[in-house]
Structure 1
Amino acid sequence: MIPRQAVSADLPRLTSIEENSFPGDRLSARKFRHFIRSELSELWCVGEPLSAYALVLFHRGTSLARLYSIAVDPAARGQGLAQQLLEWCEQQAVERGVLFMRLEVRQDNTHALALYRRAGYSVIRSLPAYYDDGADGWRLEKHLSLGRKVPEQLPFYAQTTPFTCGPSALLMAMQSLDSDRTSYSVPDRIQELDIWREATTIYLTTGHGGCSAQGLALAADKRGLDVRILVSDRSVPFLEGVRNAHKREVLTLVSDEFQRRCDDAGIETRESQFTADELREALADGQRVLLLISTYRLNRNKAPHWVWLVAMDDRFAYINDPDVDEELDQAEADNLYVPVSLDNFSAMVQYGRRKYMAAVLLKR
C-alpha cells in the first residue's frame, strides 16, 4: 500500500484512530482539518479503510521537520504500518530538502521507542512532565541521508574541537585538490590546530574563537593555493555579537590586520552579495569553495559555521560538514555530501541580521 495525503473526507476515521490510540493529548477534527490544508504540514495515511496516519510539520526556511504524530488503529497493528509510514515521511521530507527530523515520544512508550531507535533516531533531550498526565518524554532526532550517491573517494575530515570547522573544511578541500596524493599530507589534528591558530579572529561569547574568511585565505595562500575571497562587506564580521569592549577592540585589530595581509599578498577580496549561480560557476571552473553558513537554517541552532561546498545541481547544494556530533550517534557518512535544497541554501549562507556572507575560493 502506497501512502496518500489525507483529505477532508478522512476526518471521521482520523479522529477515531486518534481516540483509540492515545489516552490524552489528542488531535481534534479541527486540528486535523488545519493540517490537511496547511502548506507547512503533510498528513499521510494508509489502508482501505484508513488504518494509520503520520503527521509531519515543516519549518519555513530551515532544513528541519517534526514528526508530530503517528498512530495505527488497534485492529491494524502488527502489520508494519507505522514503520512504512515513518520511512515514507522521511523520503518525502528529503524531497523537500529536509536534513533533520525530530519527534517527541513518551518515555514509557517502549514500542514506539523501539521503532524509532531501529530507524536511526537518537535522544537529544529529556522532557520532564511533558504530557498532559505528567508523563516524561524524550525528544529524538535523525539526520536524514536518503537517496545520496556520494562521489567515490570524496575526502572527509571531522573537526576534533568545537571551534575548528574552518580549518577542517580547508583540509578537506586541499586534499581534494591533491590529485596525485603528493602535494599535501593526510589531514591530521596538528594541521587542523595549526591552521586554526593562523586563521582565528572571532571571539565567541565563551570559549575559543573561530576563523574568518581572511584568516582561512591567508592559511591557504601560505600552503601554495591560489585564493580568492568573497564577502558581502569588509567590516569586521560578528562584532555585533561581542559585548566586551576589550574583545571588540582585539577582534577589530586582528580582522583589520588580516585584511591588510591579504591585500599585501595579492589575494583578491571582492565585496558582493554573491549568488548560488556564482558559486556554481566557481565549482564548474574546478575551484573549491569554503562557505560560511548559519546552522540556524539547518536545525535551529544559531552559530556561524564553515563547510566545504562540494557540488550543486538543479535542486540541491551538497556540502561536507565537518561537525560530526558523536553524542547524536552521527558518523562521518551522515555529514558527507549532504544535500541542502537551494531555497534553504540561499538563506543559510546569510548570517545574522546584517546577512553577512563569506566564501573562500581555492585552486591549485
Structure 2
Amino acid sequence: MTARDIPAVHELECRLFPVDAWPLQMFVDELSQAETRHYLVAEHAGTIVGYAGLMCMQPIADVQTIAVVPEQEGKGIGSALLTGLIRESRSRHAEDVLLEVRADNPRAQQLYRRFGFEQIHIRPRYYRDGVDALIMRLRLTGARSDTTPREADRP
C-alpha cells in the first residue's frame, strides 16, 4: 500500500465496515510508521479489491486489518493477503501473530483456522455494535514453517 492507495482503501473501508470504519487519517498514520507497520493491497483489473495491514513489535505481530470486497471473496485474495502478512511477520522475527475477528464472521474465522490460527480469548462487546471479538493466535516458532493453509483444511 502506498499513500496514493489510501483514498481508495478508505472508500472500501467505509463500504465494508460502516460501523467500525477507520478514519482516513488513521491509514495515513499507519503508513508513516514503516518500522513497525506493513500494509498490502490486492488489485483486480487496476482496482483495489482488498487490503491488509500488520503491526509488528517483537515478539508479537498483530493483524490490524484485512478485507476483501464481497464480489471477489472466494478467489484466494484473503489467503494471499494473509500469506503476505505472515511472511512479513517472519521476516521481522515475530514469534506469534495475533488478530481479532468478529464472532459473527465464520468465513474469516475459517480462513484463519486454515492457516493454523487458534482462538485464545474473547473480548466481549469489542465492536461498536456490541459483537464480541475472538482473539486468535498463530505461533510462528512451532513445528509449522510455511505460510499457506494446511492441505487437510483446504476446501
CA distance in 2, matches of 1:35, 1:131: 20
Give per-residue Cα distances to partners, 1:179-236, cap 9 Å, x unaligned.
Answer: xxxxxxxxxxxxxxxxxxxxxxxxxxxxxxxxxxxxxxxxxxxxxxxxxxxxxxxxxx
Q: TM-score, normalised by structure 2?
A: 0.85
Alignment of 1:231-310 (within 5 A): none
Alignment of 1:94-133 (within 5 A): 94-133=90-129
Residue 85 of structure 1 corresponds to 81
Q: How many Å apart are 1:101 and its aligned residue?
A: 0.1
CA distance in 2, matches of 1:333, 1:80: 25
1:15 paired residue among 10, 21, 24: 10
Q: Sequence identity of aligned pairs in percent?
A: 29
Task: Tell me, yes or no, if the aligned pair for 1:20 and 1:74 is still in contact at 8 Å.
Answer: no
Q: Which runs of 5+ in 1 are unaligned?
A: 1-5, 146-331, 337-364
The residue type equivalent to 2:19 in the other structure is G
2:55 paired residue among 50, 54, 57: 57
Q: How many Å apart are 1:27 and its aligned residue?
A: 1.3
Q: How many Å apart are 1:78 and its aligned residue?
A: 2.4
Q: How many Å apart are 1:55 and its aligned residue?
A: 0.7
CA distance in 2, matches of 1:73, 1:36: 21
Q: How many Å apart are 1:75 and its aligned residue?
A: 3.1
CA distance in 2, matches of 1:71, 1:333: 28
The residue type equivalent to 1:49 in the other structure is T
Matched length: 142
The residue type equivalent to 1:42 in the other structure is H
Q: How many Å apart are 1:77 and its aligned residue?
A: 2.1
CA distance in 2, matches of 1:63, 1:132: 29
What's the Cα RMSD here?
1.6
Q: TM-score, normalised by structure 1?
A: 0.38
Task: Tell me, yes or no, if the aligned pair for 2:101 and 2:135 is still in contact at 8 Å.
Answer: yes
Secondary structure of 1:51 counterpart: strand
Secondary structure of 2:94 counterpart: coil
Matched, 1:333 2:143: yes
Give per-residue Cα distances to partners, 1:242-293, cap 9 Å, x unaligned.
Answer: xxxxxxxxxxxxxxxxxxxxxxxxxxxxxxxxxxxxxxxxxxxxxxxxxxxx
Greater strand percent: which structure? 2
